Amino acid sequence: MTSPPPAADSEWYHIESRFEGPGHTTNGNQFLISVALEPGAEKHFSGIQVIVCCKEDDPELQKLTVTDNVGRVAFVRMMRERQLTAAETDMAPHPQAASRVHVDRNENLLLKQEVAHKASDTLLEQGLPALEFPLCTIAYEVQDISNDTWRCAKLVLLPSWPITDGPTRRIAYQFVQLIHDPVVLYLSFTHTLRSSLKPNNKSRMVCAYPASMGISAFSVRICPPRSQRRIFTQPPPEILSAIFGCAIENKHGSWRPTLISFALVCRDWEIALEHLFHDFGSYTSGKTAPDLKAVSEAVLAKPQLGKAIWHLSRSHFGRDQNQNEPKYLDLAIAFKNVLHSAKHVRELEIFHTHSSIREEFVEALGQSRDVRTFLINSYSTPDEPNYRCRPTLPELFRCFQKWSRLHGLKLFGWDGPNPFLQTAEQFTIEQTPPLGCALRSITLYNGPITAPQLCNLTAGSHSSLSDVSFSGIVGLSNAGLKEWLLQVAPALRQLNIEKSSIAKASDDEEYALDATMSHLVSLSSMRIEGDVLSELAVSRKPGSTGRSGGMINLANCPGVNPNGLVQAFKYTGWRTISARGLFEGNEPLREEGMAIAKERGLSFW
């Protein structure tokens, strides 16, 4: 809160603010006081004095004491030595190095505090020298606001010091410095700024685990008289942008009206609209989502707003599946316009578009060069209107070639030249050339792709691809899957294959997962549903160096022989094995498997 304007031009005034910091205190007895002299104000004072007081006649505050943190320097030094000792013996130095820097900073801060407090104690014991100007005295009063059930206090900034009328105040803490540097005091007292239950309270309420709260911070800025204040000048765009960005720290709050209010102040403050356009992501709130047509009109009128978009998700603007064709076409054109303007988008989600603007939509899709994650969040259904379409695999590859930073890919559906003929042979390998982006995760659902196309998709990802999920994929052969697995084996950690048609050339051909399991040394999680492996994929799994080992989940796998699986438990490197339904009607074999698993320390169900 701000103090009233000065009555005369020669008077100085102050601005007070309070907030709850990021630190945590269970008892609510810690707080921070900071005092800073703004440029020009230091001419009126010889130093700064901070006082914390309370009323002498308040029975709840008769034993109140306030202390600082000077005595913690030795403790921080001991912690620093422990961190240094741990860093010498730890094989992963980076976390320890970060901790060491953090502890060193804490120690330096506390050492400065120690010097300042010792100087203050000396001045208070020996008495202040003759001063040219008065001290800038900031006095806070601890006021008890307890009742029969709760114990609590608050800090109130007094208008002046000393207080000559009313109850007598007792000084519980005092700090003084004869320089103009800002004062930051880390204090604690024998009361609480949070409500805590009194023992044996009249309401008989109890709280076994009180929640912690942030450390309360009280800040005072001393401003010079108006005649001595610097004339306000417009901050540079970078500073304005940083200020406006604070409005959306709470992603789920109503921040859109706030940003619009900023932008309406003056032309120079229109930079606030850039933050308004930064995030149209799937889980962004800001309360009500903006109208897609209005956003389209805005980026057409001011292309720089489109360049501010970092996260763009079609689902952010709603997912109405019951639109008639004219309305659907209007929205498809609007989203295409927004997409075309979003040249710096990083996270992108699309559904489908109208077949009449297919080429324009694909062109807009390739405008950005900075896409990192991409999602097609829809798939064809039998009752889908025939005017809806999705990009084909060759069209997607054209975009992927421009997205050198792409690392996350999720495709829940894509079209062939004929959307109702989902076969991989429609695409030639020349239409899907090798990509250079380093993908980390791939999810492919409900679409056609051949092994050469899959190999080209991950051509630049052999050392980065760690998470892969296939479901409802057609066009992959067993031999092609084997070739691809050998390429990505070193980094692959998670693999899910469900309901996908992966055909073998003959019954005698070895399953791709069986043949490559010994090469999948990093694999820690695998879920398989379908005829794509046998019990050899279990027995050939290398041992894991991790504490938890790896987990394999088998469902509806006709290639797995129950007797062979039980024997595989004797050699497998998997630590957790799930094979529900495989032992139905064969309880003795299941119990044999349970006994082997228990003997080896495996988890099996």
Round to whole Å and give the CA distance between 28 and 146.
14
Residue 515's pLDDT is: 95
Q: What angle do CA 261, 263, 268 make, to 5 degrees?
A: 145
Round to whole Å and give the CA distance between 588 and 296.
66
Is 100 part of a structural domain of the chain? yes
Among the candidates 166, 197, 228, a domain finishes at 228
* Model confidence at 50: pLDDT above 90: yes
Is 425 part of a structural domain of the chain? no
pLDDT tens digit sequence for 541-590? 987 655 556 899 999 898 999 999 999 999 899 999 998 788 888 889 98
Residue 24's pLDDT is: 64
Is 350 part of a structural domain of the chain? no
pLDDT tens digit sequence for 390-399? 898 999 999 9
Is 488 part of a structural domain of the chain? no
Whether 597 contacts 569, CB under 8 Å: yes
Is 113 part of a structural domain of the chain? yes
Round to whole Å and give the CA distance between 580 and 561.
13
Q: How far is CA 259 from CA 183, 281, 341, 346, 498, in A?
A: 34, 17, 21, 22, 46
Whether 370 contacts 346, CB under 8 Å: yes
| Count of the separate structural domains present in the chain | 2
pLDDT tens digit sequence for 463-514? 999 999 999 988 899 999 999 999 999 999 999 999 998 989 998 999 999 9
Is 494 part of a structural domain of the chain? no
pLDDT category at 209 given cuts 50, 70, 90 is low
Is 260 part of a structural domain of the chain? no
Is 486 part of a structural domain of the chain? no
Which pair of structure tokens corresponds to residue 242?
């940083």
Among the candidates 212, 228, 244, a domain finishes at 228
Among the candidates 196, 228, 260, a domain finishes at 228
pTM above 0.75, yes or no: no
CB atoms within 10 A of CB 488: 24
Positive or negative, the CA dihedral 172, 178, 180, 183 is negative
Which pair of structure tokens corresponds to residue 179?
């320089």
Q: Report the Cα–Cα distance between both ends of the chain, in Å, rounded.
A: 63
Round to whole Å and give the CA distance between 144 and 138.
20
Structural domain that includes position 585: 524-605
